[in-house]
Amino acid sequence: MIPPTPAPDAAPARPLPIWRHLYVQVLAAIVIGALIGHLWPDTGKALKPLGDGFIKLVKMVIAPVIFLTLAGGIAGMRELGQVGRVAAKALGYFLVVSTFALFVGLAIGNLLQPGAGLHVDPATLDAGAVAGYAAAAHETSLTGFAMAIIPDTMVSALTEGSILQTLFVAILFGVALSLVGEPARPVLDLIERLTLIVFRIVGMLMRLAPIGAFGAIAFTVGAYGAGSLVQLGALVATFYLTAILFVVVVLGAIGWAHGFSVLRLVAYLKDELLLVLGTSSSEAALPNLMTKLEAAGCDRAIVGLVVPTGYSFNLDGTNIYMTLAALFIAQACGVHLAFGEQLLLMGVAMLSSKGAAGVTGAGFITLAATLSIVPSVPVAGMALILGVDRFMSECRSLTNFIGNAVATIVVARWEGGLDRARLTAALGG
Q: Which of 40-44, 115-119, 203-207, 329-333 has the lowest mean pLDDT?
A: 115-119
Amino acid at 147: M
Summarize pLDDT for 56-80 with one digit per residue, the tens. 887 788 888 888 888 887 877 666 6
* Length reported for the chain: 429
Residue 139, CB-side half-sphere exposure with 13 Å CA sphere: 10
Expressed in percent and rounded to 5, the helix, strand and coil fractions of the chain are 80, 0, 20
- How far is 43 from 239, CA to CA, in rounded Å? 29
Q: Whole-prediction pTM value?
A: 0.78
Q: Which of 70-74, 79-83, 242-246, 320-324 has the highest mean pLDDT?
A: 242-246
Please answer whether residues 409 and 331 qualify as being in contact, where contact means their C-beta atoms are separated by less than 8 angstroms: no
- How far is 374 from 76, CA to CA, in rounded Å? 47
* Mean pLDDT score across all residues of the chain: 79
- At 8, the pLDDT band (50, 70, 90 cuts) reads very low
Please provide the DSSP assignment of 86-116 as one string: HHHHHHHHHHHHHHHHHHHHHHHHHHH-TTT
- Does residue 298 sit in helix, strand or coil? strand
Is residue 81 scored above 80 in pLDDT? Answer: no
- How far is 224 from 232, CA to CA, in rounded Å? 13
Kindly report each contact of residues 236-242 with a partner whose C-beta sits within 8 Å and lies 24 or more positions away, as own/partner. 236/388, 236/391, 236/392, 237/114, 238/108, 238/109, 238/112, 238/114, 238/324, 238/328, 239/320, 239/321, 239/324, 239/325, 239/392, 239/395, 240/395, 241/108, 242/104, 242/105, 242/108, 242/320, 242/324
Please answer whether residues 317 and 97 qualify as being in contact, where contact means their C-beta atoms are separated by less than 8 angstroms: no
Residue 109, CB-side half-sphere exposure with 13 Å CA sphere: 27
What is the model's pLDDT at position 322?
85
Is residue 306 scored above 60 in pLDDT? Answer: yes
What is the model's pLDDT at position 355?
47
The closest alpha carbon to 205, from 269, 295, 287, 292, belongs to 287
Q: Where are the domains of the chain?
A: 19-427
Please answer whether residues 93 and 317 qualify as being in contact, where contact means their C-beta atoms are separated by less than 8 angstroms: no
Is residue 136 scored above 80 in pLDDT? Answer: no
What is the model's pLDDT at position 359?
45
Q: CATH for 19-427, among 3.50.50.60, 1.10.3860.10, 3.75.10.10, 3.30.1330.60?
A: 1.10.3860.10
What is the model's pLDDT at position 360?
43
What's the chain's Rg over C-alpha atoms? 22
- At 332, the pLDDT band (50, 70, 90 cuts) reads confident
Q: Provide the 8-state DSSP code for 377.
A: S
